[in-house]
A and B are shown apart, each in its own frame.
Chain A
Amino acid sequence: MRPEDKSILLVDDSANARRLTAYILKKAGYAVAEVANGIEALDYCELHRPDLILCDIMMPVMNGMEFREKLLAHHEHRKIPFIFLTARAQAHELVEGEQLVPLAYITKPVEPDSILEIVGRHLQ
């Protein structure tokens, strides 16, 4: 499967961070959809089914945790690979309940290659 066949939903409130992550993923050939918070992400998921979700935690309006909770309640999308991309140290401490545990955490700052490596691994 070629990367361009895969779509990734990128959820991050920081425009600069979003720009960077999206650039890296697009450069690697993925189709990237960008939103700024959990609400926008849920809206997106109503209409689309991304192959992977890359989500910040600390966001205004609806943070990453709430979004994941909502998503898990959503049958169709609960199995979509979910990766937290966050600047929070010990992000796993914030995630309460086993159900919420994502596939992986990527802690900012991170080298672009690492993002690609983790994302690629979880899309196989």
Chain B
Amino acid sequence: MSPTREKPTVLVVDDSAVIRKMIAPVVSKLGYRPVMAENGDEAIRQIHAVHVDALLLDISMPGRSGIEVLQYLRKNNFLLPVIMISGSGDISQAVQCIKLGAYEYLTKPVDRNRLEITLKNALSESALKEKVRLLSAAMDQSPIAVVITDTLGNIEYTNTAFSALGCLMNEKDSGTPVTLIKAEAVPDDFQGKLRETIASGQAWQGEFSRRCKNGDLCWQQAIISPVLNSAGAVSHVLALMQDITAVRKNQEALAESNKRFKELSDLLPQPVFETDQKGTVTYSNRAGLTAFGYTEDDLDKGIHALRLFAPEERPGIEKNMRGREFGSHEYTAIKRDGRRFPVLVYSAPIAGKIGTAGLRGLVIDITERKEAEERVQENQKKYHNLFQAIPDAIIVADVDTGSLVEWNRQALLLFEYSPEELAGMTITGLYPQEFRSVSENYYKSALQQKAGTLETQIVTRHGLRIDVHISSSTFTAAGQRRFVSIIRDITEQKKSESLIRENIRLKNDFISTVSHELRTPLFSILGFTSTIMRDYEELDRDTMMEFLKIIHDESSRLSALIEDVLMISKIDSGRVSYKKSRIDPSSTLAEVCRSLKKRAEEKEIVLKLELHATSAEIYADPDALKQAAINLIGNALKFTPPGGRVSVLLSQNEEALSICVEDSGPGIPEADLEKIFEKFYRVNRPGEEIEGTGLGLPIVKEIIEAHQGTVTVTSRLQEGTTFTVRLPLIKTKTEAAA
């Protein structure tokens, strides 16, 4: 009975309008809705048209009789209660009606009370039947097994599903006390507890396993609840049972699968993780926890994935996630204790029912790889710096093609090509034409690891040829064979070699010249002494004196020569130490002139000293200055012919002191002027014999330059020569103040 129909409908079928009018109010009064039909056909039509809850059916009617209508209803499975109303009261007719399923058989005249009660009972019984029918159908169609027992456990009802459960019942079990739960996995006191729960009016719910008829272990879920009677006492026990073996098996399979997955992922050395949509880590394998320094507890408390990365990485990670840039990314991860390490993260979205449910991925700690990369980079940098810093040019070329592949800074400087130009050149192109075949042979031997070194020339971009020393070898890089040549510019080395040779030659020349200069006076000394010893008796006094004078002169010359050679030797080796002090040069000059006065007089030369700088002071070694003055004035006297003139002039300006030595000698040819300060250089003077060592002027030059001074010479042939020495003045206090 549907609750939407407010009033039950009662169809009144009678050919008598009087009867119909009499019955309709009774039906209405009972709270039902009366619907009328005046014959059998009309009744059948109405039944089909509207829902009818009960039928009041006259038997005797024109056309289709009440019996025929009843037969039709039964035939067509209309289960509504039918109350027959008969005018005859024939017993056999009444029996026939009851057999056909009529609810009641009333005879006319119909007692109103009797009709009321009958209709009421019929309707309520019909409703009840309908309810039971519905429940029974529902029970039988339900997949859940239903068992009702009495309080002693005797089964009073089971549904189809219960039989299908096939766990418990045989036909013969029916009616016998049953222990509903014969669990193998439940504790001993389970039955008691169950009873206790039921007795207290509570429902019990649980799962248990049992052995099925076929011997398999089945799992069942049961809800067992008490059924209370109207007095509130437990009258029956209702058990709803369901076989959950398949579910349990699925659950077990899932658990097994989860376990396997967890064990497998725990075996992985790399962290594996999952996050939810908000980024909270929902799963991490053991490696993940270890790598980041967290525990399972921390994971349970909730770790946001961003916390696992360095703060500066977080905006980038968020951006990648927003942009759905999954795949692999390098990030700096951060451990719980704050330590950082580089990682490579592979991630992919977890597809949910609606959109993305989260993220799943793999983290690879790339610390070692990074360190290795850094080491490689460091080594490369080191090699590069070394390569560039080496002061020799280095060229790397391909063995097969000869093309230049790499070069250092010095190579660019040496060859003067731009990097672009070098890139288009071959290694033999760096050599001048005439050295190409030599260089080709050299590289061929380098290929056999036989190349030593090669001294050759290279040619620069601007055609300049440079002497070089080359050493080469080969190596293999990335499967390519390369020549590497270290090219050393030996221009300077060659220069210094020739300088050394020149020095040796000069030294030999010097020794040779000195020995010549020593032998010449010795020849005279030795020869004349031998002569005197041998011819002593025969020699007259004048000749003897002449010879002795020559011996004396040559000995002096030898002595002076030795002094000069020692002086030059000291100067050359830098062993001369000047004892400089504040001196007045005028007194030095006066002393020198006094000592040379006799020599001047012998040659009838006028030696004149003019001192125009009487208060000047210089910082000098007095002995060295005296030596320089003797050499200069002595030379002037030596070269000036008898009757000539030598003047020595001391003067000063603001900066310097000047000493001029002027003679009226033959002068020095212009070609010789540059050479007179060279050691042992002597001006050719035809027909004249001028003694000297050729060391006087070089000594003067050394001394004056050691005093920060200069010595210059001017000369005119047949007129005379002037040597000028300039030395820096010491500024007196008054001068400095002025």
A interface residues, Cβ below 8 angstroms from B? 13-17, 19-21, 23-24, 27, 36-37, 39, 58, 60-61, 87-90, 107-113
Determine if A108 and B686 form an interchain contact, defined as CB atoms under 8 angstroms apart.
Answer: no
- Bound: A109/B530 CA distance, A: 12
Determine if B512 and A110 form an interchain contact, defined as CB atoms under 8 angstroms apart.
Answer: no
Determine if B522 and A88 form an interchain contact, defined as CB atoms under 8 angstroms apart.
Answer: no
- Residue B526 interfacial (CB < 8 Å): yes
Closest to A88 in B: B516
* B contact residues around A14 at 8 Å (CB): 520, 524, 689
Determine if B531 and A17 form an interchain contact, defined as CB atoms under 8 angstroms apart.
Answer: no
Closest to A37 in B: B686
Instruction: Given A15-B689, A36-B687, verify A88-B554 contact (CB < 8 Å).
Output: no
- Bound: A65/B625 CA distance, A: 41
Closest beta carbon of chain B to A45's beta carbon, Å: 18
Closest to A40 in B: B687
B interface residues, Cβ below 8 angstroms from A? 512, 515-517, 519-528, 530-531, 534-535, 550, 553-554, 682, 684-687, 689
* B contact residues around A24 at 8 Å (CB): 527, 531
Choose one: B516, B526, B531; the contact of A58 (CB below 8 Å): B516
Closest to A87 in B: B519
Closest beta carbon of chain B to A114's beta carbon, Å: 10
Determine if A109 and B522 form an interchain contact, defined as CB atoms under 8 angstroms apart.
Answer: yes
Q: Is the interface of B mostly helix, strand, loop or mixed?
A: helix
Closest to B517 in A: A87
Determine if B534 and A87 form an interchain contact, defined as CB atoms under 8 angstroms apart.
Answer: no
* A contact residues around B682 at 8 Å (CB): 60
Choose one: A16, A27, A36; the contact of B524 (CB below 8 Å): A16
4 further interface pairs, Cβ-Cβ under 8 Å (given A14-B524, A17-B527, A88-B516): A14-B520, A89-B516, A107-B519, A110-B527
28 contacts between A and B (CB under 8 A): A14-B520, A14-B524, A16-B550, A16-B553, A17-B520, A17-B523, A20-B524, A20-B531, A21-B527, A23-B531, A27-B535, A36-B689, A39-B686, A87-B515, A87-B516, A87-B520, A88-B512, A88-B516, A89-B512, A89-B515, A89-B519, A108-B519, A108-B522, A109-B519, A109-B525, A109-B527, A110-B526, A111-B527
Determine if A111 and B554 form an interchain contact, defined as CB atoms under 8 angstroms apart.
Answer: no
- Bound: A89/B527 CA distance, A: 18
Q: 9 smallest A-B Cβ distances: which pairs?
A: A87-B519, A108-B523, A60-B684, A109-B523, A20-B527, A109-B522, A109-B526, A16-B524, A15-B689
Instruction: Given A109-B523, A111-B530, verify A13-B516 contact (CB < 8 Å).
Output: no
- Bound: A75/B297 CA distance, A: 128
Closest beta carbon of chain A to B334's beta carbon, Å: 88
- Bound: A20/B528 CA distance, A: 7
Closest to B524 in A: A16
* B contact residues around A19 at 8 Å (CB): 550
Choose one: A36, A61, A111; the contact of B526 (CB below 8 Å): A111
* A contact residues around B554 at 8 Å (CB): 16
* A contact residues around B530 at 8 Å (CB): 111-113
* A contact residues around B534 at 8 Å (CB): 112
* A contact residues around B522 at 8 Å (CB): 108-109
- Bound: A65/B247 CA distance, A: 132
Determine if A20 and B689 form an interchain contact, defined as CB atoms under 8 angstroms apart.
Answer: no
Closest to B527 in A: A20
* A contact residues around B516 at 8 Å (CB): 58, 87-89
